[in-house]
Structures are given as structure tokens and as C-alpha cells.
Structure 1
Amino acid sequence: MSTSTSKPGGSLSDLPPLRRLVTGHDASTSKAVVQSATDFAWQPYDDNQMAFSVVYTTSQFPADLNNDADVQTHDSLMSSSKLGLVNPNGTVIRCVDFAPGYRCGMHRTQSLDYGIVLEGEIDMVLDSGDVEHMKRGHVAVQRATNHQWVNTSKTEWARMMFVLQDCKPLQVGGKSLGEDLGKDLGFLPESGN
């Protein structure tokens, strides 16, 4: 389905809605509780051909969960509108929906990423020309490489979940390889790491 009409929860696709559950502790009993349960909030990009939903972020490693410091830091970062693809010194878990036929721009993040296909199929294209066709359950371990995602289906949306972790600056053959969003992803803020 390639329509750009928003679905419930702000999604663009016809894929199932997703829900985020954040756990914590009851202060009086120390027992685990669900602190919040919310539907994913989606942000459309690139003429409604791609949508992001940031599930959660951390801003230090290891994360500080005391007194809900991580929750407060996440909420503050999300309200700042300054989050790039990567969160410097932290992590990001982000869900991305790709429209049928959509090809995102070639890009590189300064991060170690795990990309898991949840729905549909998608091609991972590397700047070397290597192409890997990925199906539901396949995982890409992106190690600060230049890549793009291509949904080759003419009719079906694809959905991936990404966990991005900041990494030390990468040197390959004496050359520094930092973040490069390319000309096609210029609508995204730079990560600043």
C-alpha cells in the first residue's frame, strides 16, 4: 500500500501498530511495574515514503536508572528536537517503515547498529556495490559503513527496528570515516558525535 494517508498512531503504512512498554519499580515494594504504555509515535519523512518512531534513548553508558534519570533524560532529549540518527555517548532504538519501492539515500553513521527486519523484505546496499536481500528476522550489524535501504516490493511496506550505539571515531586506511548523511538525507539533523 503506497498511500500517504496517516493510519491510527500516525503511521503511514498498513503494518500493525506497535506499542512501547516502559517498566520501573514500585518505591514501597521494590516490585516491577509498568510505568507507561504508549503507542509508537511516528514522524514521516521524504514525502511520506519513510516514517521513524524513536522508541527510547539513553545518553550515557552505562545508563543511570536511579530516580528515573534515564526516563527524564530521554523525555528531555525528545522534546528538544535535537536527536540525530545517533545519540552521542548513548543509544537509540528506532523503528523505521519504508514504503513500497522506496530507496533511502546512501549514508553512514558513526555508530554500531543492529538492524532487524520485522515486516516485509528489504535490500541492504553497501557503497562497494554489495547487496544483501533481507527477510523477516534477518539482522544486519552495521559497523559505521556507508549503506542504504531499498524496499524492492512494489506493493508491501517494510519495517525495521534499529538499535544504534555511539562508537569511537573510525579510522580505515589512515582516513577518518565520520557521519555522512549524503545529499538525500539532509532533512535529518546531524548527530554531532
Structure 2
Amino acid sequence: MSIPENRLPAVRRILASNLPIPTILSNVTRAEPAVEVTADDLSSAPILDGNYGKISIFNHKSIPASTVGHGKLELEEVPGAGIVLPGGANIYYLEIAPGYSTSIHRTTSVDYMIFQTGEVVYLTPDEAFDPETGKGSWANRTDEWVRILCVVLDAKSPSTEIQGSNARHQMSEVWDV
């Protein structure tokens, strides 16, 4: 299948943070810091053979994050598949080409998905099997690219109760369930 060009617009990232209070104001009870505002236009980077795009917006090694002035924003390296930042938060846009779907998985993170552009269908594990790829989950069945804002928070290791006892069963991250 030929993938249509991703024509979604660039994303504007704006970051506001506090600058240090000048020494002359350090003894003023209600002194407020100046605010640093930076703005960047971010374009999509193709991933997974161009069937998807990703725009990294923000990430933080730990929460709560600092409000101290950042200057040029440097993103942390996110290990593995680039989704979960251990102990922190990873915020990015995921773009899905027409006719493609994401891998179905159970993850070690808490994921908030905000659908910005286009329409997707959520496939349950019973519906997700695709004979060509064996993958599914969020499926783009339209002729247009889809853009999803993803807020991914690291979480405690997932576990479930064992029926009839106080014991817990630990679950690992699994892809292509």
C-alpha cells in the first residue's frame, strides 16, 4: 500500500518558566520572577517505515517538574521504544498513516490519549489480529493521517489480585497481546 504524504501542520511548542529573581529584589516579600517564554515549531519525524510520525513535545525525568528557566529545551533520552521515561513523563504526538494501526499491548505506564485530528477505531484483542502484521489496537481506517497527543506517565509495576487470596500476580510489559 502506498502511504500518502503526511500533510499535518507543524506543532507550536510554547514553554513558560521562571527566571531567577534579581539580588536587589531578594528581600522583597511579594517579589515575582520574570517569566521566560520560548516557542518552537516542531515537525513530524517519520518512524516505523514512515507508517507513523512522532513529534516529541516535552518530557521530565521526575514529577513534580521544575519551574526554573530552561533556556533551550533539551529532551531526555527515552529508553527502549521511546515511550516510557522511567520515573517521569513523556509527552508527544503520534501520527498514524491511513490504513495502519498501532500494536496492541499491555504496558507499564499510564497513557492519556487525546485525539486531535482524524478518526480512529479502538480494536479489542479479539478484533485486532491482522493476517499481514498480527497487530492492532488504534486503527486508522480513513484516507487521512491521524494525530494523537500522548501523555505517558511511568507507573508502578502492573499487578493483579489472585482470586481467593491476598497475593498479587506481577505482570510484565507485553506487546502484540
Q: Which residue of 2 aligns with 1:33?
A: 36
Matches within 5 A, 1:136-175: 148-153=137-142, 155-174=143-162, 175=169
Moved more, 43-52 or 86-95: 43-52
Helix, strand or coil: the match of 1:77? Answer: coil
Q: Is the 8 A contact 2:58 2:75 kept in 1?
A: no
From 69, 94, 97, give the equivalent of 1:96.
94
Q: Is the 8 A contact 2:113 2:150 kept in 1?
A: yes
Q: What amino acid sits opposite 2:76 in the alignment?
A: L
CA distance in 2, matches of 1:172, 1:115: 23
Higher Cα Rg: structure 1 or 2?
2
CA distance in 2, matches of 1:124, 1:178: 22
- Give 5+ residue unaligned stretches, structure 1: 5-12, 131-146, 184-193
Q: What amino acid sits opposite 1:30 in the alignment?
A: P
Q: Which residue of 2 aligns with 1:18?
A: 11
CA distance in 2, matches of 1:177, 1:152: 31
CA distance in 2, matches of 1:54, 1:76: 8
Helix, strand or coil: the match of 2:104? Answer: coil
Q: What amino acid sits opposite 2:140 in the alignment?
A: N
Q: What amino acid sits opposite 2:141 in the alignment?
A: T
Q: What amino acid sits opposite 1:167 in the alignment?
A: A
- Could you state the TM-score of these two structures normalised by the residue count of structure 1? 0.67
Percentage of identical aligned residues: 25
TM-superposition CA deviations, 1:76-122 (whole Å, max 9, x none): 624xx636211111001110111010122222221111101100000
CA distance in 2, matches of 1:114, 1:128: 23
List, as ranges, runs of 4+ consecutive aligned residues in structure 1 with deviation greater than 6 Å: none
CA distance in 2, matches of 1:173, 1:152: 37
Q: Report the CA distance between 1:164 and its aligned residue.
A: 0.6
CA distance in 1, matches of 2:75, 2:7: 31
2:4 equivalent to 1:3: yes
- Give 5+ residue unaligned stretches, structure 2: 23-31, 129-135, 163-168
CA distance in 1, matches of 2:33, 2:41: 26
Give the structure with the higher percent helix.
Answer: 1
Q: How many positions carry a matched residue from both structures?
A: 152
Q: Is the 8 A contact 1:85 1:109 kept in 2?
A: no
Q: Report the CA distance between 1:173 and its aligned residue.
A: 4.2
- Could you state the TM-score of these two structures normalised by the residue count of structure 2? 0.73
CA distance in 2, matches of 1:171, 1:128: 22
CA distance in 2, matches of 1:37, 1:58: 18
CA distance in 2, matches of 1:124, 1:111: 18
